[in-house]
Amino acid sequence: MAGTKRDRQKAAREARRARELALAKARARRRRAIQLGVGLVLALGAVFLLSRGGDDDDSTDVAATDPSVTSPLDNPASAAGKPCVPVADPLPTGAPEVPVKVGSPPAQLIKEDLKVGTGATVGPRDTVTAHYIGVACSTGKIFDSSYSRGQPIPFGLSGVIKGWTDGIPGMQVGGQRLLGIPADQAYDAQGSPPDIAPNEALWFVVEIVDTKAG
């Protein structure tokens, strides 16, 4: 009986060790599975980043491969090369007509006096007070107008777009001038969303109310 009892105890101990070994192996398998899963996620992430070339702008990758291919990220609203169209919006009360020159956008600054003033002449560094109305070349949309607000605005000629800095001097108080401004003398490739597209030429009529030497 003693021998049999010892045999049973030994068998019980061996069975317990076998169960503990099996549990240890199962835990090890789970750990390996988790490690493999984490490794797979990291590997996929690395592949994704590498496929993007380490840059958030996919368009540069496309351009580097084939400059003739347009990236989906390119701005479809760019006005580059689009012709100018007539004014499409009703004029604000008191605003003059804007005689947009329909067709190819201006390649150089256009200055055309619609009404010659009789007052003081605007100098290149003056601060002027003026009424104005602005029209986008490719859409004919009136994107801004002091007439809509019912009062002219003061501004220094050194703090405005180049088309105004170069286009307004020489005007006289009381005069009106049409300005056709190429995109690179306005808001260039960045535009001024939402009303002025990238590479948009602009048309203005500016009316000088007052000028002060700067």
pLDDT digits (tens, 9 = 90+) for 57-80: 443 333 333 433 444 334 447 999
Tokens of 140: 């004919």
Q: Answer whether residue 182 shows pLDDT above 70.
A: yes
Q: Specify the higher pLDDT residue, 39 or 90.
A: 90
Sign (positive or negative) of CA dihedral 155, 158, 161, 163: positive
Over residues 128-180, the pLDDT tens digits come to 999 999 999 999 999 999 999 999 999 999 999 999 999 999 999 999 999 99
Element (H, E) at 202: strand 202-212
How confident is residue 124, by pLDDT bands cut at 50, 70 and 90? very high
Q: Where are the domains of the chain?
A: 2-65, 110-212
Query: Phi-psi category of 158—alpha, beta or left, where left has phi over 0 and alpha has psi -120 to 50?
Result: alpha
What distances in angstroms separate CA 176 from CA 103, 117, 169, one per listed residue?
A: 23, 7, 12
Instruction: Judge if the upstream peptide bond of residue 194 is cis by omega within 30 degrees of 0.
Output: yes
Query: What number is the average pLDDT over the span 99-103?
Result: 97
Q: Specify the higher pLDDT residue, 126 or 72.
A: 126
143, 181 Cβ separation under 8 angstroms:
no
Residue of 77, 76, 73 whose CA lies nearest to 195: 77
Question: Bridge partners of 144?
Answer: 134
190, 198 Cβ separation under 8 angstroms:
yes
The percent of residues in the chain predicted with pLDDT above 70, rounded, is 64
**DSSP for residue 94:** T
153, 130 Cβ separation under 8 angstroms:
yes
Query: What number is the average pLDDT over the span 108-133?
Result: 97
CATH (residue range 110-212): 3.10.50.40
Q: Is 144 exposed, middle or buried (0-12, 13-18, 19+ CB in 10 A)?
A: middle
118, 172 Cβ separation under 8 angstroms:
yes
What distances in angstroms separate CA 36 from CA 39, 47, 56, 131, 184, one per listed residue?
A: 5, 16, 29, 70, 55
Tell me, rounded to whole angstroms, the distance of Cα 51 from its chain centroid. 25
Over residues 35-57, the pLDDT tens digits come to 555 444 444 443 333 334 444 44
What pLDDT does residue 14 have?
67
What pLDDT does residue 77 have?
79
Query: What number is the average pLDDT over the span 105-134?
Result: 97
How confident is residue 214, by pLDDT bands cut at 50, 70 and 90? confident
